[in-house]
C-alpha cells in the first residue's frame, strides 16, 4: 500500500505567520495570521514587532492548521519550514518552533527556500494543465496549476516577483534552478509599495496601488522603463521610484484622478519591464512552460499580460490562485512534498539564512 505522507509546513519569513497541512501533495489546510494591520501604522514591516507577533501567533496558527486538516501532531511524518530568505528574527521563530516540534515528535524537519516555495505555488492540485492558444477565449481562460508527476513541463521559465525579490529563473527539473537575472536594486513589489507610500495609499502598497490604477490612465505619465532594452535579464526599479518622486514633488497636492493616473502609469511601467524581459527569455530559451510566483503575481495586469505571452508563444502557463501568490505555508509544504517524493531531503542541523539564494 502507498505510504501516506503528512507534512506540517510553517512560514514566518516576513509578516505573515502561516501553517499548513499537506497530505500526499494535497492541501488539507492553509492558515495565515496576517500582521498587516499592525505594520500599516508604521508604513512597513518593523522586524522586532514582526518577531514578537510571530511568537504570539505561531502555536494557535499551527493548532488551527492541524484542526482544520483533522490531523493530530502524532500523525505527522515531516515538518517543513522556511529557512530563508527573509527577516532573521522572523525566520527564527518558525525554525525554532519546527525544531522543537520535530524533536518532541521524533520526526525530520526539512528546511525550505522561500523562493523555491513561490514556484511550488504553481503545483497546487488539481493537476490539469491549460493549453493556451492565441485566441480571445483562451486568453480569458485561467491557466491551471501543474501536477506532481507532469514530466512534460521542463524546462520551465519562471518569473518570481515579490516584495523582496525579482527573478527570472530557468527550472530544468524539480529542484534544478538556473537564475537568468534578478534585480540589481529594488524588487518589483518594493516599487509598488514605495510608490503607494508616496501617494499616501498606506501599507501594503501593491494591492492599494493596483486598485487605484483601475480608474487611472496608464499613458498619462511616461515613467521610465529601466533596463527595458538591456541585453541581459536583470531588472532595476530604483530609477523608476526616483522618477515618481520627482513627478509627485511637482505639485503640493494631487487629486484622486491624478493619483489614479500616476498609479496606472507606474503599474504599466513595472509590468512592461517584467513582461519585456519574460518575452526576451522565452525567445532565447524556448521553455515548454512559463510560471509566475510571488506576491506581485496577484497583480491583475501582470496576470493578464503573462497569460497573453503564453498565448502568443503557444506554450503552457501557470499562475497561482490569488491565495497562493502572497506568502503562505501551503507552498512551503508543496516544495517539501516534491522534494520528498524524489529524494531524501537534507534535514540535518540548519539555521535561518536571511540571504538564502535559489541554487
The contact set with ligand KG4 (CB under 6 A) reads: 14, 162-164, 189, 192-193, 204-207, 210, 294-296, 298-299, 326-327
What is the C-alpha to C-alpha distance for residues 49 and 190, in angstroms, rounded to an integer? 20
What CA–CA distances, in Å, run from 67 to 21, 30, 61, 73?
10, 11, 10, 10
Beta bridge partners of 170: 157, 178
In the bound state with ligand KG4, the residue whose beta carbon lies nearer, of 108 and 202, is 202
Nearer to Zn ion, 116 or 327 (CB): 327
Check: CB of residue 59 under 8 Å from CB of residue 96. no
Rounded to a whole number of angstroms, the minimum distance from the CB of residue 327 to Zn ion is: 4
Q: Binders of Zn ion among 155-194, rule CB under 5 A?
A: 162
**Residue 320 binds which of ligand KG4, Zn ion, none (CB < 5-8 A, kind-dependent):** none
Residue closest to 146 by CA, chosen among 161, 131, 126: 126
Peptide bond preceding 85 in cis form (omega within 30 of 0)? yes
The residue sitting closest to ligand KG4, measured at its beta carbon, is 295
Alpha-carbon distances of 120 from 26, 217, 325, rounded to whole Å = 12, 35, 10
- The binding site for substrate consists of 160-164, 193, 206, 299
Q: How far is the CB of 137 from ligand KG4 (least distance, A)?
A: 25
Q: How far is CA 331 from the centre of its chain?
A: 9
Task: Mark 256-295 with x for binding to Zn ion (rule: CB under 5 A) and - for no binding.
Answer: ----------------------------------------
CB 292 within 8 A of CB 305: no
Name the minimum Å distance from CB 353 to Zn ion: 15
CB of 293 to Zn ion, least distance (A): 8
**Residue 299 binding: pick among Zn ion, ligand KG4, none (C-beta 5-8 Å cut-off by kind):** ligand KG4
Q: Which stretch binds Zn ion (CB under 5 A): 153-161, 195-203, 210-218, 322-330?
A: 322-330
Residue 298: contacted member of ligand KG4, Zn ion, none (CB under 5 to 8 Å, by partner type): ligand KG4
Contact partner at residue 226 from Zn ion, ligand KG4, none, CB < 5 to 8 Å by partner kind: none
Q: Compute CA distances 14 → 20, 27, 190, 273, whole Å.
A: 16, 22, 14, 26
Smallest gap, in angstroms, from Cβ of residue 286 to ligand KG4? 28
In the complex with Zn ion, the residue whose CB is nearer, 107 or 332, is 332
Q: Provide the minimum distance between the beta carbon of 13 and ligand KG4 in the complex, in angstroms, as a whole number.
A: 7
For residue 230, give Cα distances in angstroms to 9, 59, 170, 227: 40, 48, 19, 5
Q: In this chain, which of 53, 116, 261, 327 binds Zn ion, going by CB under 5 A? A: 327
How far is it, in rounded angstroms, from Cα 130 to Cα 315? 9
**For residues 75 and 185, which CB has a smaller minimum distance to ligand KG4 in the complex?**
185
* Rounded Cα distance, 142 and 101, in Å: 39
- How many angstroms separate the CA atoms of 348 and 97, rounded? 16
For the CB of residue 61, give the shortest distance to ligand KG4 in the complex, in Å.
Answer: 16
Nearer to Zn ion, 167 or 317 (CB): 167
CB closer to Zn ion out of 35 and 132: 35
Q: How far is CA 308 from CA 134, 266, 302, in A?
A: 8, 20, 10
296 binds, among Zn ion, ligand KG4, none (CB under 5 to 8 A by kind): ligand KG4
Cα dihedral 161, 167, 170, 172 in deg (nearest 10): -70
**Contact residues for Zn ion, defined by CB under 5 A:** 162, 327
Amino acid at each position: 500500500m502507498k505510504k501516506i505522507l503528512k507534512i506540517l509546513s510553517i512560514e514566518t519569513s516576513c509578516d505573515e505567520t502561516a501553517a499548513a497541512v499537506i497530505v500526499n501533495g494535497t492541501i488539507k489546510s492553509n492558515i495565515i495570521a496576517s500582521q498587516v494591520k499592525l505594520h500599516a501604522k508604521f508604513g512597513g514591516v518593523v522586524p522586532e514587532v514582526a518577531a514578537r507577533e510571530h511568537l504570539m501567533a505561531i502555536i494557535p496558527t499551527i493548532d488551527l492548521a492541524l484542526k482544520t486538516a483533522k490531523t493530530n501532531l502524532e500523525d505527522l511524518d515531516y515538518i517543513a519550514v522556511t529557512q530563508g530568505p527573509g527577516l532573521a528574527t522572523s525566520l527564527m521563530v518558525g525554525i525554532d518552533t519546527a525544531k522543537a516540534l520535530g524533536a518532541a515528535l521524533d520526526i525530520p524537519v526539512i528546511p525550505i527556500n522561500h523562493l523555491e516555495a513561490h514556484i511550488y505555488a504553481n503545483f497546487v492540485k488539481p493537476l490539469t494543465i491549460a493549453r493556451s492558444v492565441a485566441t480571445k477565449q483562451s486568453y480569458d481562460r485561467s491557466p491551471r496549476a501543474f501536477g506532481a508527476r507532469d514530466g512534460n513541463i521542463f524546462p520551465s521559465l519562471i518569473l518570481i516577483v515579490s516584495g523582496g525579490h525579482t527573478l527570472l529563473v530557468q527550472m530544468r527539473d524539480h529542484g534544478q534552478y538556473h537564475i537568468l537575472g534578478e534585480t540589481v536594486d529594488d524588487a518589483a513589489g518594493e516599487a509598488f509599495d514605495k510608490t503607494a507610500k508616496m501617494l499616501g495609499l498606506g501599507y501594503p502598497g501593491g494591492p492599494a496601488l493596483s486598485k487605484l490604477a483601475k480608474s487611472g490612465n496608464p499613458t498619462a505619465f511616461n515613467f521610465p522603463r529601466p533596463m527595458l532594452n538591456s541585453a541581459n535579464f536583470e531588472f532595476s526599479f530604483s530609477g523608476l521610484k526616483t522618477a515618481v518622486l520627482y513627478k509627485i514633488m511637482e505639485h503640493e497636492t494631487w487629486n484622486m484622478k491624478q493619483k489614479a493616473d500616476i498609479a496606472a502609469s507606474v503599474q504599466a511601467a513595472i509590468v512592461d519591464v517584467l513582461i519585456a524581459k519574460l518575452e526576451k527569455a522565452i525567445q532565447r530559451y524556448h521553455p515548454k512552460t512559463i510560471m509566475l510566483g510571488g506576491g506581485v503575481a496577484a497583480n491583475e495586469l501582470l496576470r493578464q499580460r503573462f497569460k497573453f505571452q503564453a498565448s502568443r508563444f503557444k506554450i503552457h502557463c501557470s499562475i497561482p490562485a490569488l491565495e497562493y501568490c502572497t506568502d503562505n505555508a501551503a507552498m512551503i509544504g508543496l516544495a517539501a512534498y516534491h522534494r520528498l517524493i524524489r529524494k531524501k531531503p537534507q534535514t540535518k542541523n540548519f539555521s535561518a539564512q536571511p540571504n538564502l539564494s535559489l541554487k
